[in-house]
Chain A
Amino acid sequence: MTKPENELTWKDLEIGCIVTEPGNAGQYRTGDWRSQKPVHNFDRCIKCGLCQIFCPEGCIEQNTEGYFEANLFYCKGCGICARECWTKVITMVDEEE
């Protein structure tokens, strides 16, 4: 998109509001919906990847050291990863105001 969404006029829209730029949903920040964030203590992590499988947002990525980490640009703070992790790597912490 050439302009930010809040500056688009009706004339800027494609017919039927068709999106012609593939994959631009990646620009959509869902991280600011969050009231809690996952915090990791990787000392206990066995790199099993279960948290990645359970994350409904699909936002858990493996970092260069092989640990599974949440991408906070997308993480909605649902806490599912913290609940499912069997070695209790993840704690949900309130976001600051």
Chain B
Amino acid sequence: MTEPTRHDQLDLEPTLYEHHVVSPKVYLGVFGALLCFTALTVAASYLELGVFNAVVAIAIAVTKAVLVILFFMHIRYSSRLLKLTVASGIFTFLVLITLTLSDYISRAWGLW
């Protein structure tokens, strides 16, 4: 079929995304990493790190979440539109948290 379809003519947003099949090896690797990080975060919580206990816990959780999003949820192989969608969700989430917290923190400077 040589005639361009309605689809090809949708300029700006090429929708003919090539469908990427992620190999089970990648899944297995991510799976292993997730398990390791779980062990790590449990272990870290038993160490005395001061404020860094929270920092480490959050950092590990974020890493795990990123792994899941990128590989299990295929965002790494998805169109720019989907990547932007995920980013905008996280962005709005951060707006909610930071702007609310900015009020709470500046209500009592230094007491936080």
The answer to whether A and B interact is no
